[in-house]
Structure 1
Amino acid sequence: MNRKEFGYLVATLRKEQRNDFDEIMTQYDLAELSRIPLVTLQKIEQGRQANIKPDMLLSLAQTLKLSARGRESFLLCASGLEESEIGASSLTPEQALAKLRDGLAQIQTPAFITDCFGDVLFANPALLAVYNATPEKLRASHLLTQFNIIRILMAPEFEEQRHMMGETAHAFIHSTVLLYKAMSIKYRTHWYFQMILPELNRMPIFREHWQSPAFHGEDVFINYNTITLRHPSFGELKFLSGPLQGITPHGDLNLYSFQPLDPHTAAICAQIVKQAGTTPIALAAWPKIKVDRHAHATSNSNA
């Protein structure tokens, strides 16, 4: 991102922090804690600071309490390179998505593909089966976030699905939001993220975890999560999930697969695949195309 966008990112991350009086962190607070002259910080946030020293960037990242994964993204954002330059490839974005989709079609366990905003582009039948949902259940055409993984996990209408997680739900959701925070840093200034964040913040569960400070010693250094489901038809299922990442000029694509953690879960996955197959189901479209501020964003079709 350019210097102006990076400055906006610093200001956004600062406003997510609280000071000692439980108020939004001010420029003065951040400058004092990171030992950066106030006028320099103001220039950074205004996009007028051409050269930002490495030790200054590291101090900002530490004061903003970024996770290890978030810190890596933050420092990359400070490079001044655009997403289209970082994600340049011999493959077109459509070819990159097609390769991930072909991989998804071969996976024998629950799996799905998201874009950099968390919108689920494709899911296999096994994912919908273990989550006890259907494409129709997921649809909410009045929402930009209708297929966003955060909505699917945390919206009030998916209370039945969260109930399957039992006592593990709180820890799983908290970990998911921490991962989302870290993985979305590169895209906080993007127009689409700015449009979907208010929708996500209308969900009390998301808002609680998004706004809560990190626990002491808490960090995100690897992108994986564990999940336990007590399915009404399949019994207790245990998985470990993490992404394979594809880089494109339109942002990262992530292929998540759920690896069974016990023989029963593996057997259930095999049973589901035998009955439902592995053909990916198209959900959200990609890449995002901006229309106007009074209308929903549109996207190219994945079909």
Structure 2
Amino acid sequence: MKALGVQRFGSKDELTELEVTHPTVNEDAVIVEQYATSVNPLDFKLREGKKPDLDFPVVLGSDISGIIVEKGENVTNFSIGDRVFGVTAKSPGSTYAAYVSVPQDQIFRSPVNAGFLEAAALPLAGVTALQNLQDRMQLTDKDRLLVIGGAGGVGLFAIQIAKHLGATVTAVGSSDSQQLMKDAGADEVIDYEQQPVHTLSKTFTAIFDCVGGSSQDELFPLLERDGCLLSIARDPSEQLAKKHTVTAAFTAISPSQSLLSKLCALYESETLTVHISETFPFTERGVQDAHEKIEKGHTKGKLVMKIQEDEER
């Protein structure tokens, strides 16, 4: 079976086409024929050796978008032929592949108005935004949220989900991403190239940091007392959190079918939209180009890899 991954850790040039064993199904899982997947920052970090104990070859990827072709005997909520999307709990999830085995509780039926490419862009980034803003921050219409990296894959979903939850949203991004963040629903957009974030005169009840970096420390004075800073990019300073009497944490996702169900409903109601900035072929060159782009940062929206040419099967 064709897959894309690495035989050793290193740069994007280590990415290559692999021939791996076709996955087998267990009683609580399904086999999905992949039509598309997406490329996330996590992928290049794993490729570089973030988890040094992984066994080679390593097939990267977390996002699932395809059709069920086989299912285990305990799978009752899905049928062969169902179009599904999802995100793997294991990391990496080996979704840069023609077929993937996945537990039934890590997938959900694809939104009826989403093609395979759109469905591939939703799971990891969408679950990350939804879990952090809805479940962990528990945003309401009383909150004022600052999103750092508002034009990225997670950031654009965060803006839309926060608005759905009733919060007032300020989003930070580069000069050429201002309109994109406005279109996502941000009440205010900040061009960090013109106005450093730490110079803002207003305060927020919550901050969602999708970027990390040393500038994160400058965010703490922008939080109100008892506010919350969550980051998907860097461990926040416990010392600064204590000094400013706020909660701060680095977060990782815990995929669930209930979150995927909520994402599906938000997409079907057009409350949530997907911005795909570029689509890459399922080839060695395609995956190398995708990794090169996402490593540079400043990606707007999502990068998707088309595994099957016939998207509308």
Alignment TM-score > 0.5, same fold: no
Structure with greater helix share of residues = 1
Structure with greater strand share of residues = 2
TM-score, normalising length: structure 1: 0.30
TM-score, normalising length: structure 2: 0.29
Higher RCO structure (Cα 8 Å, ≥6 apart) = 1
